[in-house]
Amino acid sequence: MTRRRTVLAVTAGALALPVALSGAVSTPATATSGWSSAWAATTDTSAPATTLASVRTIIGADTGAAAALTGKGVGVALIDTGVAPVPGLPAAQVVNGPDLSFESQAANLRYLDTFGHGTHMAGIIVGNDTASGMKGLAPQAKLTSIKIGTASGAVDVTQMIAAVDWVVKHRNDDPANPIRVINLSYGSGGNPPNWTDPLQFAVEKAWQAGIVVVAAAGNNGNSTTKLTNPAMDEWILAVGASATNGTAATADDTLATFTNLAVGGNQVDLLAPGTSIASLRDPGSNIDNTYASARVGTTLFKGSGTSQATAVVSAAAALVLQSKPAATPDQIKEWLIKGGTFLPNGKAGTMGLLELNVNGALARTGTAVAKPTWNTSKGTGTFELARGTSHVILDNAPLSGERTVWGPLASPQWAPKSAAQTSWSGGTWMGFKIAGDDWTGTSWASKTWAAATWTATPWVSSATWTDPAWTGRTWSGRTWSSGTWSGRTWSSDDWASTSWD
């Protein structure tokens, strides 16, 4: 009899939980549900869909100089749950970087989005769905997908760190579309010291390499006292969600009640539309099966959260970079923030939080930007503090301490190599063979990084990387084959998507 192995997660108090229709917090899903408590969701279907055409109007991208921009020539790295080859996601605009998720060890799941989150983010950025007329906000940007999350979102912070390192190392592999933006609709469960945290060190190195890092503030509500990690890092661009209240006008927009706010440390830098955003549906994925009422027609799906707001800002950053390709991340950040639209109502007005305005940002591109003097992380803090109280669990054993998914590692060994951009060599990261060595893989996308079989021993020595639950699930042209995603991994970190509504 084959023993079913499961990867679960201890639910951290800092992670957002699913919300019931009434607004009360529900209990976490059971292991057999295939649903992770680290991805917050609602079953409320009352809110009308916010189209990307409306979002484009709200953020001032459909008039003036912004209207002519498409993101052409700008690469955007999406570190997420992968993307699915739905018709609304043009293969010519998508590159598959390495799959660093647990599902990379299953050929039928590799690179593909089994959860539905990554596809939704990709649609906001580069989608082009002729069936519905939906078009992404930067439709000619080149999207590089680096998959680290499974069907239920399971991911360890060390997979995220390895992915960021890979992007920095390979940002110029396509000279016509260098990666200038990283979209992180994600937040770890940790609350580590900013001056030593390895995750913040990784994103700061990306920033220093000329990449605008856009991160979700989190969805634990306005009463929280800190942003999620790495949005709490002062260097990068921390995004909160605005509630559009069903209109394309900005005068009635407010701070979304689910957005994290900070009492000390880095505050939300910028707001962007993040409620009931209609983007690409991933048919048969976990969220599609679980929240069928969130479907809009046959090709779209509604989602709310700082995840969606982050994707909106990443697309906007690509537009501004198309216009000003020599701009530094510090310049892009300040232009986007100071070019925003004032929201007079509620906490946004009281706090002076601005909503994204692309034309406003373009109007500021002639202004000088002083170099910030924020403190930087040394990267020598523990991976355990970066995880916080949420841990990936394999056969009832949590991944903890100073080790990665693939084996033991001390951050003081990793940090100097990350800084020197030598943590990766081919498909080997810090001595662990976790991907292929070059762009020789095959998938539906225009270009693909090769895969590799993981040879490292899991942190439970008696276990293997394979899961019997992976068999029998295939992508069949336009949808996942029928069935549930039970028996799969659970999320250990917060991807900052507050609802599928």
Per-residue model confidence as pLDDT tens digits over 433-467: 999 999 999 999 999 999 999 999 999 888 888 87
**Contact 336/270 with Cβ under 8 angstroms?**
yes
pLDDT at 19 exceeding the cut of 60: no
Is residue 133 pLDDT above 80, yes or no?
yes
pTM of the model: 0.92
CB atoms within 10 A of CB 64: 13
Strand partners, 354: 342
DSSP string covering 440-455: ---SSSSEEPPP----
Looking at 305-449, which runs of residues are DSSP E strands? 341-342, 354-355, 392-394, 397-398, 424-425, 428-429, 432-433, 447-448
Under 8 Å between Cβ of 424 and 450: no
Closest CA to 26 of 12, 40, 47: 40
- What share of the chain in percent tops pLDDT 70? 88
Which residues, at least 6 apart from 309, have a Cβ–Cβ distance to it below 8 Å? 216, 239, 240, 241, 242, 256, 271, 272, 273, 274
In the set 132, 307, 390, 497, the catalytic residue is 307
Alpha carbons 89 and 108: distance in angstroms, whole number: 19
Look up 307 and say whether it is catalytic. Answer: yes
- pLDDT tens by residue, 179-235: 999 999 999 888 999 999 999 999 999 999 999 999 999 999 999 999 999 999 999
What pLDDT shows up at residue 501?
74
| Secondary structure (H, E, C), 309-364 | HHHHHHHHHHHHHHHCCCCCHHHHHHHHHHCCEECCCHHHHHHCCEECCHHHHHHC
How much is the pLDDT for 12? 33
CB atoms closer than 10 angstroms to residue 290:
21
For residue 408, what pLDDT band results from cuts at 50, 70 and 90?
Answer: very high
- Cβ contact 265:194 at 8 Å: yes
- With 0-12 / 13-18 / 19 or more C-beta atoms within 10 angstroms meaning exposed / middle / buried, residue 436 is middle
Report the DSSP beta bridge partners of residue 241.
Answer: 272
pLDDT in tens, 242-297: 999 999 999 999 999 999 999 988 999 999 999 999 999 999 999 999 999 999 99
pLDDT exceeds cutoff 70 at 498 = no
Task: With cut-offs at 50, 70 and 90, classify the pLDDT of residue 29.
Answer: very low
Query: Measured between alpha carbons, how far is 400 from 402 in angstroms, rounded to an integer?
Result: 7
Catalytic residue among 36, 37, 44, 80: 80
494 annotated active-site: no
Locus of tokens 């042209």: 477
* Token output for 464: 């293997």
Predicted confidence at residue 467, as pLDDT, reads 79
At 491, list the tokens.
């999320």
Mean pLDDT of 26-42: 31
pLDDT at residue 155 greater than cutoff 80: yes
Torsional sign, CA 96, 101, 105, 108? negative
Instruction: Say yes or no to pLDDT of 117 above 50.
Output: yes
Looking at residue 493, its pLDDT comes to 52
H or E segment to which residue 163 belongs? helix 157-169
Confidence at residue 36, expressed as pLDDT on a 0 to 100 scale = 36
Contact between 338 and 149 under an 8 Å Cβ cutoff? The reply is: no
- Quote the pLDDT of residue 143: 98
pLDDT of residue 34: 35
Catalytic residue among 54, 117, 170, 501: 117
Q: How far is CA 81 from CA 152, 238, 260, 263, in A?
A: 9, 20, 22, 31
166's tokens: 């890979």
